[in-house]
Amino acid sequence: MTNDLVLVTGGTGFIAQYCMLALLKAGYRVRTTVRSLERQAEVRDYLKVGGVDAGDRLSFVVTNLTDDLGWPDAVAECAYVMHGASPTPSGDQTRAEDWIEPAVNGNLRVLRAARDAGVRRVVLTSAFGAIGVGHKPDYRRPFDETDWSDLNDNVAPYQKSKTLSERAAWDFIAREGRGLELTAINPVAVYGPVLGADYSHSIRLITNMLNGQPGCLNVNSCCVDVRDVADLHLRAMTDPAAKGERFLATVGESMWMIEVAELLRHRFGEKAGKVPTEVWSDEQVRIAGETNPQLKGVVPLLNYDMNATGRKAERLLGWSPRSREEAIAAAAESLIRLGLLDV
Average pLDDT over residues 293-321: 94
Q: For the purposes of burial, counting CB atoms within 10 Å of the CB of 208, is it exposed (0-12), middle (13-18) or buried (19 or more)?
A: middle
Instruction: Say yes or no to pLDDT of 343 above 80.
Output: no
pLDDT at position 94 is 57
Choosing from 25, 162, 274, 312, which is the catalytic residue? 162
Measured CA distances, 6 to 9, 27, 246 (Å): 10, 11, 20
Domains and their CATH numbers in the chain: 5-337 (3.40.50.720)
Please state, for a pLDDT cut of 90, what percent of the chain lies above it: 89
Mean pLDDT computed over 36-61: 97
The overall average pLDDT reported for the chain is 95
- DSSP H or E run through 102: helix 96-117
pLDDT score of 287 more than 60: yes
> What span, in angstroms and rounded, lies between the C-alpha atoms of 101 and 161?
8
83-87, 127-131, 275-279, 324-328: which has the minimum mean pLDDT?
83-87
User: 121-156: b or e for each residue (b if 16 or more CB lie within 10 Å)?
Assistant: bbbbbbbbbbbbbbbeeeeebbbbbebbbeeeeebb
Specify whether the CB–CB gap between 162 and 129 falls below 8 A: yes
8 A C-beta contact, residue 149 and residue 131: yes
Q: Higher pLDDT residue, 156 or 188?
A: 188
pLDDT at position 2 is: 73
* Confidence check: pLDDT of 1 > 80: no
User: Stretch 309-313: mean pLDDT, rounded?
Assistant: 98
pLDDT in tens, 99-147: 899 999 999 999 999 999 999 999 999 999 999 999 999 999 999 999 9
Q: Poorest-confidence range of 152-156, 237-241, 280-284, 329-333?
A: 152-156
Q: What is the DSSP string of 222-260?
A: EEEEHHHHHHHHHHHHH-GGGTT-EEEE-EEEEEEHHHH
Position 193 pLDDT exceeds 60 = yes
On the question of pLDDT at 56 being above 90, the answer is yes
Helix (H, G, I), strand (E, B) or coil at 270: helix
pTM of the model: 0.96
Q: Are 242 and 316 in contact (CB under 8 A)?
A: yes
pLDDT of residue 128: 98
Q: Is 162 a catalytic residue?
A: yes
Write out pLDDT tens, residues 156-171: 888 999 999 999 999 9
Angle (CA) 235 16 47, round 5°: 105
